[in-house]
Structure 1
Amino acid sequence: MNKKLEKAMALGILSSMLFSNTALATASIVNKSETVYVIKENGQNKDKIVSVWLNSDQGVKGQDKTDLKDIKNLKSDQKIKEENGYIHWDESSKDVYYQGKTTRDLPVDLQLDFYLDGEKTTNQDLKGKSGHLKIVLSAENKNYVIKNIAGKKTKVYAPYVVMNTMSFDESVASNIKAENSKVVKDGKNEVISSVLTPGLTENFQDLLEDIQMEDFKNQVTIEMDVKDYQPIESYAVISNELFQNKANIKSINELRDGIQKLQDNAQKLVDGSMKLTDAQEKINHGIQDMDGGVQKLNKGSQELYDKSGELENKVGEVIDKVKPIPGYAKKMAKGGDQLSSGISAYTSGVGKMNANTGKMKDGARQLAQGSRDLDNGLGQLKGATSQLRLGSKKLEKMEGLKGDVAAKMGALRKGIGQLSEGASSLEAGIGQAQAGANILANANGDLNNGIQKINSQVQAISLPAGPGADMAGQVQNIVEKSSSIQGSANQIDQVIGLLREIDDPKAQAAIVSLSGSSKNIKMAAESIQSSGKNLAKGMGNSSSGNLGQQVQALQVGMDQLATSSQKLNEGMKNYPNKFDALKDGAAGLKHGADRINQQLGQSMQDLDGKLDTSELMQLAEALVKLDVATGQLKDGSSKLRQGTEQSEQGVDTLADAIAELDSNSAKLNEGANDLSKGLNEFSEKSIMFNEFPKLKSQGITPMRNGIHELNSGISSLGDGTIKLKNGEEILTLSMKTFSEKLAEFKQKGIDELDRKTKDLPETKEIIDTMSDLAKKDTSFTGSSQGFKTKYRIIEKIK
């Protein structure tokens, strides 16, 4: 162990021995022991920290006065609250330990001066130098009062004893001479201990002879020869406890003898305390707790080592599963590009279809107008044939009816002609709509191909737990883009709703199939959104253990989307064929109208040129049949009129829906492009997974090796704790021995003077004043009622 540290601890033990709290206090008294730790460098105090130990057999209770700052509990994490300069204690524990910082000036100022070959220098500047070294240790007492003694004002200094020690390696220092100090060899070190009594010389300088005060020293001088000097650290303990009990002194010589004995005992204390490593009170209890903690720590570190081995194996398994991720990501990115191209073709087809809806609407309007004219003409014809039928019995007036019938038939022929023109326009519009439907079917085929390719890539994914937050971001991107697919499915639903207006059994069957496929697409898209969100969440928190299930759910949802897309694609393939029936119907309507028109023309010629009285009876029978046929034709034309009007409304609605679908094509294209971009970014970033094996080689394995070394060190610490416990027992014995020696000095030195002071009244008054000053200076941080306080100062000088 570092000898300098041993010296510091030795002085701490010395102070504890001097000021150990006794167990003789009453139940209402709390013993307060303060230790002030000071570090002095280049003549300046750098740090001043006070450690406080409160002790009471009945528990620590009361108002503890203190001026410390930044107070911390040394025994637990419990915060200490200070209010108005007091700490309120209500503890069942017998002991409380805390510390804080102080700004209070020290009552004694220590100074260490160095002279090499007669020239003043510093401790640090001496490093590596050789020559004759002189060290001067001085102590200045700053605590005094001015009192009227024997009729004159006298400055009386408070009594302090300074016990200092410093150590030099024998290879560095030789020929050591130290006045009023003890030099003891400790192994390869020369240990010098000194006792100073700053202010005692001034207190008795007019009362005692020089020979009587030769042991009262404010400074000591140490000389030696040094070679390749190494800077030292000096340790000192400052205390006034010896003077706090009232003493009637008669003999200064007895006081001098007592100080010499104190110096001898101080050296014995230093010799014994160098074997110890801790100067704290209650050390035995602390070591026992430490021993138990070390055992638990040893057990825990072994478990940590075992678990780190399992972690190392698991990381190896994860590395194997992570390796294929970049390849999968590349394939997914390629599928995303194909999907984007398919959606682009799909939206292009919707645009072309939207461009042709105007012609289809015109044809539907012409068809509706022709059917209305046809129905009106047939109505008029039916009225005329009814009148002919009623008037067939009045053959003599047939010549008068001839002109009326011809006029009615002319109007009928005109209406049929308009019907034929409307049928022609309808046929042309249906042809254009069929062309748009073909484009839509082709685009949907490309879209389906893209979905199928993405599905194949998704089904091939086999991700390990915790692939990383980057992948989670890309999966979130896929989730957002899947909403575009769901929106497209909703638009397809709108178109399907309009197509339901078509009055054709085969068309309706196809529409029902398309509707089912669209519904499946929406459900699959919703499933992908839900699974994708869970997957992204799982990737952000790989410890949940559900990432594999979430990937599986995403694969199921994507498979459902692919199945629905396939069904929709098959339905769209047959959809353009449904227009063939409409075209055939329109062509048949035109052909029938042309035939009726031709027959009406022939009939009008026959009516004008061949009608005579001899044939009236045959004409009457023909008129009856004509009336019946005309009625049937009128019923059919009414239904045709109703159907064409509904068809016109349906075409308008369909055209509006297609226009709306076309208006959303840009968003669909944008979504597909974003999806493709996101997948490509994911593919680029997935290359980072190639660095994942370094986690094991550069992280887990070195960590496990370090844990193994820590485990070995903890085992050694446990052995050292046992030795430390044995050393503590030696400390306890040393403390007891020193306390006995200190009591012996007090009895034979100061107390013995109580019987010899009658002839020294002035000296007695000064001694009493010194004792009063010591009694008033029992605490460095503050004392209050119910607290018995003592303090000591431990100062390290660099």
Structure 2
Amino acid sequence: MKFSKVKQFFKSKKVVRVGACVLAAIIVAGGTGAYHVYGQKAAAVQDSTQKTTDESENDTDKEENILKQVLKSQTDGEETTVDKEETVYVVADPDGTPNEVIVSDWLKNHSGAATLEDVSDLKDIENVKGDETFTQGADGALTWQADGNDIYYQGTTDKELPIDMKMTYYLDGKEISPEDLAGKSGKVTIRMDYTNKEKTEDGVYVPFTAVTGMMLNKNFTNVEVTNGKVVSDGNNQVVVGFAFPGLSESLDLDSKDLEDIEIPDYVEVTADVEDFSLDMTMTFVMSDILQELDVDQDIDLSGIEDAIDSLSDASNQLVDGSKELADGTGSLVDGVKAYTNGVSTLKSGIGAYTDGVSQVKSGVDAYTDGVAQVAGGTKQLADKSGDLKDGITQLVGGAMQIQTYFAGDDGIVNGAKKLSDGVNQLDVALNAGVTDEEAAQAETAAKQTVEQMFGQDTDVYKGVAQQAAAVYSNGVKNSTDLSDSVTAALKDTFKQINPTLTDEQAAAYAQAMSQQLINSIADNTSASVGQIAAESAKSGAEQGAIAGAKSGIASTKSAIAAQIEQGGLVSGAQTLSAGVQKLYNEGIEPLAVGMQSLNNSVPELMKGIQTLNNGAATLNDNSAALKSGVNTLNSKGSELNAGAATLDNNSGTLNDGTAKLNDGAKKLSDGMIQFDEEGIQKLSDAYHGDVEELLDRVDQVLDAGASYHTFSGLKDDMSGSVKFVIRTEAIETK
């Protein structure tokens, strides 16, 4: 699109008015010094707009002057020292799709030089404010014949924009195209989504700020704006929205538990609308807003860092100390509890002791009386020990005799085992089937029997041979197929021998000779066929007889084995053997060993009885001294009991005091841990983790904004600035 077409577009009173209102609304809606740069621009445009409204729409010269003021208001900021200021104008469809891109550049001739060097990738470059010319070199190099003047030039480009704006329209909650929305009524939502496509090598986006303005007519009511504000001038409402696409991702807020910090990347307008129409919208995109907020000023955090580190160290020491105090008081409580429990136990024990002493006194009295009786009994035992020794000797002899009946090769145990093994062997042999020897005997007997019945001289053998020969002879002689085959062969033979024969003659000869030939063959071979049949019958009888004999032997053995097993002979013999062995192992043999040990112990038993008798006499002699000592213990028990009661009464006070001390120490420790974990350490972690890293990301973002100077090109030794102005077409009822 040529520059003349841009001028024609901006000559419209409506366009100039909307642009001026948007710029003015930025100041009202922003409420921050971030937009002070555009205050002077908005004021200049508003003045021009008001004058233009009062004049004729056809006054082309004045409207062109207004256009120049608007363009200048977008490139003139506060006094700057940059060498090149660039404004990118984008004309887009109502859905934000770019149609044409026009770039306006202002080269500042600070030194009044005769020529100005520049770099640009624009096409269709033309001087829009003077008649200075340029020459173009390689790689987009431009040399302007400036003659000491600033250069204002413009060109076109089809390169991709660093930021996209998508406008989506909804009617009563359903998406609708802008064309279909025109003239409709209902709840309308307009959403503007901004996509940042300009990333640095550090992985952060250039911090573009998108400011979108639109003028809503009186048909819009109940207007609400997400990420923006509404300013009313009486007849119209001006909506201004703000977005920072890519900034949240650049600051990596999601990974730093800062999701609650919302940085807008869209603007949404909702309103009740009658007969929908919308004038064009204008969006300003800048990369240097954050610099103008002075957020890049260095912050000296070294003192805070040292203080946080010292606070963290001191908190850790307090946590350790309070824990040691709590552990120590806990040990003290445990010790006091053990002490008081011991005192209580001591009191109970002393009470039980004094009661026990009294009981012991009674017991000792009974004991001394019993000792006298025991002494008399042990004397009688010693007197009868000789008879006890003789009885034990006789008992041991009987047990040893019983063992001889069960032990040895001919004993009961070995005999029961031999019986069980024999029954098992018989059962295995019966279940093993027909042996080779039995099979051979059965085969010999079967062959002898068959030979007696089917010998060559027997009538049975001859009868089978004769009958088979007769069947064979009749079958051959009466076979039509055989007769036809032989006749055909003879016919061919006759024809070969005598080619002069006709088919009828050859056939007649063959017919006459074929039956004679077949009858001769049948008569001559029938005897041999009969003998072969008789031999086959004899062989079959032999095989059947052998198989029957073997099967009979196997069935007989299996029946006997079943009778043995079902009768319980096998299991009974096994049970008997096991039972006899168990009786010997667990009864007879241990009894014999025990009896032998008893017999060997008789001398010691006799000696022990004598010792017992002597000891009982000694106990009886000392009973008087024991009785006297117990009486003394019983008399002192009341004094011991009173002292234990005093200790027990005072232990409760000590226990309560240590418990309170321990509770206080635990609360102090828990409080210090909570204070350290939820306060000091989180503060330290936040500073050393998220805060420092976030500040680093902020620096990278600011650097990215400060480094983005141009869209179309800039010489290495030049400074520059760039802004984008996106205008969408109006939506009007057809």
- TM norm structure 1: 0.33
The structure having more radius of gyration, on CA atoms, is 2
* Structure having greater relative contact order (Cα 8 Å, sep ≥ 6): 1
